[in-house]
């Protein structure tokens, strides 16, 4: 297709985004309720339970410490599921991309639109969880209102990572290794449940390399109004991972889409 005949880039990306939006909202309750409830159930079960024994952590009430991390874990899981199981089903079973590529868009537009849609979902679920924890007074109102932007960045980052993983997967069951072997350990060892400086010194550099660590630190800074210059390093890390993994995902998935 001649690139001169293509609509503008924004129109092409919006077209992919809008297609996913329409499909997703057809079953909004069944699609949106479980990812929304899961972090709240975890917060209630662990935060309220352990909160009786752990008064504070890193100078914060434990339930507030936990809630500020869960704002971005909801984004992580939402984006990861969207760009692993969701993308694979559209690619291999529904053959949805075949029809989409018949429209005036390129494979790059399609993959970039997937990432943008996952980022939007990450923002939405961060905002949904924020509303609940704010209403119940767990997190004070203020800069915390900006944490959905961190949720958006989290969604973009894990969408890029997950699409790269998807580019290698030949059967849908292989995603269990990614979910159980990568995302679950990242949830527990990235500062969500306890500070990473509580880990043995040997494991702390590994925790620092985990992408979730940096968005948790950013979200917690906004929730607790505690800003430091090293947050720019966290932001730079997130942007580098998102762009780097996004480029790798584009290169690998483009061949599967075209062939």
What confidence tens digit (pLDDT) does each residue in 19-31 have?
Answer: 999 998 888 777 7
What confidence tens digit (pLDDT) does each residue in 21-59 have?
Answer: 999 888 877 777 777 777 778 777 777 777 777 878 888
pLDDT of residue 4: 59
Q: Is the pLDDT of residue 100 over 70?
A: yes
Range of the domain at 14: 3-258
Q: Is the pLDDT of residue 1 over 80?
A: no
What confidence tens digit (pLDDT) does each residue in 194-228 have?
Answer: 999 999 999 999 999 999 999 999 999 998 888 88
CA dist., res. 111 & res. 114, Å (int): 5
pTM: 0.91
- Residues 233-248, mean pLDDT to the nearest whole number: 96
Instruction: State how many domains the chain has.
Output: 1
């Amino acid at each position: 297709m001649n690139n001169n005949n293509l609509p503008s880039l924004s129109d092409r990306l919006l077209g992919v985004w809008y297609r996913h939006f329409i499909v997703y909202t057809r079953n909004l309750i069944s699609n949106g309720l479980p990812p929304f409830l899961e972090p709240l159930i975890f917060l209630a079960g662990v935060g309220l339970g352990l909160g009786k024994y752990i008064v504070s952590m890193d100078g914060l009430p434990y339930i507030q410490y936990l809630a500020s991390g869960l704002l971005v874990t909801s984004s992580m899981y939402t984006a990861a599921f969207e760009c692993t199981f969701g993308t694979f089903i559209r690619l291999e079973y529904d053959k949805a991309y075949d029809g989409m590529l018949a429209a005036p868009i390129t494979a790059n537009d399609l993959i970039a639109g997937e990432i943008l849609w996952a980022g939007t979902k990450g923002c939405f679920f961060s905002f949904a969880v924020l509303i609940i924890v704010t209403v119940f007074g767990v997190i004070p109102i203020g800069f915390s209102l900006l944490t959905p932007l961190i949720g958006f960045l989290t969604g973009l980052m894990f969408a890029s990572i997950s699409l790269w993983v998807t580019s290698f997967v030949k059967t849908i069951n292989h995603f269990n290794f990614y979910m159980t072997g990568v995302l679950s350990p990242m949830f527990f060892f990235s500062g969500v449940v306890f500070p990473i400086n509580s880990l043995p010194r040997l494991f702390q550099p590994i925790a620092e390399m985990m992408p979730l660590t940096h968005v948790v630190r950013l979200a917690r800074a906004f929730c607790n109004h505690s800003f430091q210059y090293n947050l720019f390093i966290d932001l730079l890390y997130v942007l580098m991972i998102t762009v780097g993994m996004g480029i790798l995902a584009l290169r690998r998935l483009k061949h599967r889409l075209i062939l």
